[in-house]
């Protein structure tokens, strides 16, 4: 099953557009876990177990593992999700980019070593740099298009031949790079007008949407701008609000409450959208 098929199945089974970002930090873990033999893995495992029924994807961010020398915890996390919840896709958020020979090694790292279902990729070095990822026809390639960080406009809004760069990326994604049907885009919730514009350009292509909550993105505007005509198409990511909902022993239960709140609000706006 390729990434898009797996994602479609997960959307349907969970009735959810929520993706939980897995960005663990040792110094933010509940105190009772800090003496555990595998603190990061146990922390994530507890949250995954309680939230899995209500999410469409999990998205570990590689820097939060590698910066702490915890690559083994990342391997264990992805392996656990695949074993316990095989219908849920795992997106490795690594934002890789380089010349083709190096990109091939990054593809091996993401898809063979870590066994991720999809990988975030920076498209700015062009087609040859992305080919090693695109050629993995069963894997998802999620390209940065219009990101949620405040200074994203510095480059992504620059005009090239009369069009902003993010629009050119979206057009190339749907018209040139998606020959294997495995391309998706990253578009931040902080830019709903751009999200709506990109949705119109790419049809039913999945869009990973970071930036809700602390970064300022709103759930209603995200759904109204980004959902496709079938009532799906979005992977709405929340990380810190879920992971650090509590620093006590009830951290996983509080994480579930946050996921359910986001899921229910998204579904309310989904239904309103579909009835309109």
Which sequence positions are flagged as catalytic?
A: 95
206 exposure class (CB count in 10 Å sphere: 0-12, 13-18, 19+): buried
Handedness of CA 192, 193, 194, 196 (dihedral sign): positive
Beta bridge partners of residue 22, listed in sequence order: 60
Residue from 262, 174, 252 nearest 217 by CA: 262
Contact in structure between 235 and 7 (CB atoms under 8 Å):
yes
Contact in structure between 99 and 130 (CB atoms under 8 Å):
no
Rounded Cα–Cα distance for residues 55 and 237 (Å) = 10
* 3-state secondary structure (DSSP) of residue 174: helix
Q: Report how far Cα 153 is from the mean position of its chain's Cα atoms.
A: 21
With a CB cutoff of 8 Å and minimum separation 6, the contacts of 34 are 26
CA distances from 160 to 124, 155, 163 (A): 13, 11, 5
Contact in structure between 22 and 239 (CB atoms under 8 Å):
yes
- For the beta sheet containing 118-121, the strands, ordered from the edge strand earlier in sequence to the opposite edge, are 57-60, 18-22, 234-238, 207-209, 183-187, 140-146, 118-121, 91-96
């Amino acid at each position: 099953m390729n990434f898009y098929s797996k994602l479609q199945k997960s959307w349907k089974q969970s009735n959810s557009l929520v993706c939980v970002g897995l960005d663990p930090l040792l110094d933010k873990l509940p105190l009772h876990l800090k003496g555990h033999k595998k603190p990061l893995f146990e922390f994530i495992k507890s949250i995954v177990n309680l939230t899995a029924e209500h999410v469409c994807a999990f998205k570990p961010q590689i820097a939060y593992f590698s910066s702490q020398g915890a690559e083994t915890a990342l391997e264990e996390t992805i392996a656990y999700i695949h074993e316990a919840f095989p219908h849920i896709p795992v997106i490795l958020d690594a934002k890789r980019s380089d010349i083709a020979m190096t990109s091939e090694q990054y593809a091996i790292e993401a898809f063979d070593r870590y066994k991720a279902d999809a990988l975030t990729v920076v498209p700015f070095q062009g087609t040859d740099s992305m080919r090693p990822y695109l050629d993995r026809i069963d894997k998802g390639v999620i390209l940065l298009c219009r990101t949620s960080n405040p200074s994203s406009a510095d480059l992504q809004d620059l005009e090239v031949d009369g069009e902003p760069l993010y629009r050119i990326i979206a057009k190339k994604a749907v018209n040139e790079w998606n020959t294997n049907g495995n391309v998706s885009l990253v578009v931040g919730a902080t830019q709903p007008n751009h999200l709506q514009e990109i949705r119109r350009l790419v049809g039913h292509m999945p869009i990973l949407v970071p930036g809700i909550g602390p970064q300022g993105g709103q759930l209603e505007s995200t759904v109204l701008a980004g959902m496709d005509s079938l009532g799906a198409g979005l992977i709405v990511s929340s990380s810190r609000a879920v992971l650090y909902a509590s620093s006590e022993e009830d951290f996983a239960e509080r994480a579930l409450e946050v996921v359910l709140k986001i899921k229910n609000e998204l579904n309310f706006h989904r239904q309103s959208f579909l009835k309109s």
